[in-house]
Amino acid sequence: AETSNGANIFNNNCAACHIGGGNILISQKTLKKEALSKYLENYNTDSIQAIIYQVQNGKNAMPAFKSKLSAQEILEVAGYVFQKAEQGW
């Protein structure tokens, strides 16, 4: 099957720490729906925007991507993460 742009961006920039929607550094802070709802600020009110904010700015051990990825790429990877979270990875 063809791989989406969001999936490619994720595999190239995020999977090193978030393989399979997990988190190799802080094990509870995964990209699963339950963890995002619990730990990611504003996820429950504006999910995509909350992911975009975290990717742009980073947090603690997670690097910021705003100088590495374009706004369009960040939007695409955020949409991919949201869709995978909804699907249960």
Which parts of this chain interact with ligand HEM (CB under 6 A)? Answer: 13-14, 16-18, 23, 25-26, 29-31, 35-36, 39-40, 51, 54-55, 59-63, 65, 77, 81
CA-based nearest residue to 49, from 7, 78, 17: 78
Q: How many helices (H) and strands (E) does the chain have?
A: 5, 0
**Cβ distance to ligand HEM smaller for residue 39 or 89:** 39
Rg of the chain over Cα atoms, rounded to whole angstroms, equals 12
Tell the smallest beta-carbon distance from residue 50 to ligand HEM (Å): 7
The CB-of-75 to ligand HEM minimum distance in angstroms stands at: 11
Amino acid symbol at 13: N
State whether residue 35 is helix, strand or coil: helix
CB of 12 to ligand HEM, least distance (A): 9
